[in-house]
Amino acid sequence: MLRPLHAYFLTSCCCLLLISCASSQPKTIVQSPQAANRWRDPVANSPVFRQSHTGFALYDIEKQETVAEYQSDRYFTPASNTKLFTLYAGLSLLGDSLPALRYTTKGDSLIFWGTGDPNLLHPDMPSSRVFDLLKNWNGHLFYYPHNYIGKRLGPGWSWGDYADYYQAEITPLPLYGNVVRFTNSNVSPRIFKDSLRAAGWSDEFKLSRDEFRNAFFSTGWPTKSFTEDVPFLTSARLTAQLLADTLKKEVRIFPKVPLGHTFSTLYGLPADTLYRRMLHVSDNMFAEQVMLMCATQLDTDNAGTEIRQSIDYVKKQLLTDLPDEPIWEDGSGLSRYNLFTPRSIVALLQKIYAKVPDQQRLFGLMAIGGKAGTLKNQYKSKEPFVFAKTGSLSNVYCLSGYLKTKKGKILIFSIMNNNYIVKTAEIRRETERILTEVYEKY
């Protein structure tokens, strides 16, 4: 009798164990993944994203937790999402007002050099205090161009885009946005008014420039009013000529000698004025110059600056706690060398949110769905709910920022798409569909 009783006891124990496991299993293995997948699946299972490289991260600020992830640890080309890193650098290293010019005096001579501030004579920005200082100086003016030791274009930029408006050159003292603005009846700066030539007929009107000189040419003929910007080839000599022409006084170049750390700084426009334009219209030139201004702030001895210095400083001193090391090469995102992960961008946006706790100010800097910037024609709603930065290159579309749900919850998101072959408009629409669902149902 002992053997049957023993067998019966063992069988009963096994049944109880199986029943116990079955009753607890849905809570830990089935239900929890289902809850997590609620916001991941629209991205992971999207037929539009099927052949692209896609990553997604969604973070709840109130809960302080990530509520959805899909390939968020993978690296992506971020395009202009890079400007979020540039914004954080500016918020961390620049004050409320932009350092616009450094200068020193010797007798009746004013020796001045640029900080990277891009606002002087810029056609789309308010007047700069720098112009008033130079215009009202009664003595000699000397421009010192030797404080910039970087190159005119960023690493990984497309060499063929040198004449496109979005790839203006990097300089320590930009003038006129480092572009020539052509309209039907005007050329600015006027020093280039005789530099435009017709280069033949084409059905499409287009302006361009010789790669290695400031000779501009047009093909076709404009059929309507137009405004088009073409970057000019920069040089220290041209900077002095442009200033002299505008100020109506001589501007000479100062020789390359050590300037030391005794100088004055002239502060200009509010920093938010620059950040807002940089993020709203995705101004590449402004982004690069912000990083150069950050490098100048670090260069207290005027030893020489380049953008790489500020990138390295911010990475090593301010961003060591990101989930994944950012591969960060320029300020604008024009470089194909940049690589970030969605979860690192979300972590960066948490840092920005902590640094700018005023939601009205922070969200006003971003492109605003249905209202302003590169998102003006998307996410249309009575009350804006997406405040973000777009990022576009060929076969790249990324969107990262803040989302305010119908229930008033603030979420941080990053959705990144690379290597797709469908039209970008399809990727953009699918991204909008997914984020709108989060807005309505989270």
Structure tokens at 200: 């033949």
pLDDT at 339: 98
Domain ranges for the chain:
40-78+339-441, 84-310
pLDDT at 36: 55
Q: What's the Rg (C-alpha) of the chain?
A: 27
Exposure letters 396-414 (e unless 16+ CB within 10 A, then b): bbbbbbbbbeeeeebbbbb
pLDDT at 105: 96
Is pLDDT above 70 for 22?
Answer: no
List the end-to-end C-alpha distance of the chain, in Å, as a whole number. Answer: 62
* pTM score, whole prediction: 0.90
Is pLDDT above 50 for 18?
Answer: no
pLDDT at 150: 96
Tell me what the mean pLDDT of segment 188-204 comes to: 89
pLDDT at 261: 81
Mean pLDDT of the chain: 92
Is pLDDT above 80 for 10?
Answer: no
pLDDT at 223: 85
Strands 227-231 and 264-270 turn out to be unpaired
Lowest mean pLDDT among 32-46, 187-201, 231-245, 364-378: 32-46
Closest CA to 167 of 116, 120, 209: 209
pLDDT one-digit tens code per residue, 137-155: 999 999 999 999 999 999 9
pLDDT at 8: 43
Say which residue the tokens 């080839």 belong to.
233
Strands 396-404 and 410-418 turn out to be antiparallel
Contact 234, 152 (CB under 8 A): yes
Query: How far from chain centre, in Å, is Cα 176?
Result: 21
Lowest mean pLDDT among 93-107, 211-225, 417-431: 211-225
pLDDT at 222: 87
pLDDT one-digit tens code per residue, 329-360: 999 999 999 999 999 999 999 999 999 999 99
Tell me what the mean pLDDT of segment 320-325 comes to: 98
Question: Degrees (nearest 5) of the Cα angle 335, 416, 330?
Answer: 20
Lowest mean pLDDT among 9-13, 27-31, 295-299, 314-318: 27-31
pLDDT at 24: 36
Tell me what the mean pLDDT of segment 7-25 comes to: 42
Is pLDDT above 70 for 311?
Answer: yes
Q: For residue 238, what are the CA distances in angstroms to 105, 208, 245, 398, 437?
A: 23, 19, 10, 37, 53
pLDDT one-digit tens code per residue, 64-74: 999 999 999 99
Is pLDDT above 60 for 4?
Answer: no
Phi (first) and psi of residue 6, to 5 degrees: -65, -45
Confidence tier at 128 by pLDDT (50, 70, 90): confident
Is pLDDT above 80 for 23?
Answer: no
pLDDT at 14: 43
pLDDT one-digit tens code per residue, 364-421: 999 999 999 999 999 999 999 999 999 999 999 999 999 999 999 999 999 999 999 9
pLDDT one-digit tens code per residue, 260-303: 788 999 999 999 999 999 999 999 999 999 999 999 999 998 99
pLDDT at 199: 84
Q: Which CATH class is domain 40-78+339-441?
A: alpha beta
pLDDT at 293: 98
Is pLDDT above 80 for 201?
Answer: no
Tell me what the mean pLDDT of segment 169-193 comes to: 96
Task: Report how far residue 434's alpha carbon sits from residue 103's, in angstroms, rounded to the nearest whole number.
Answer: 52
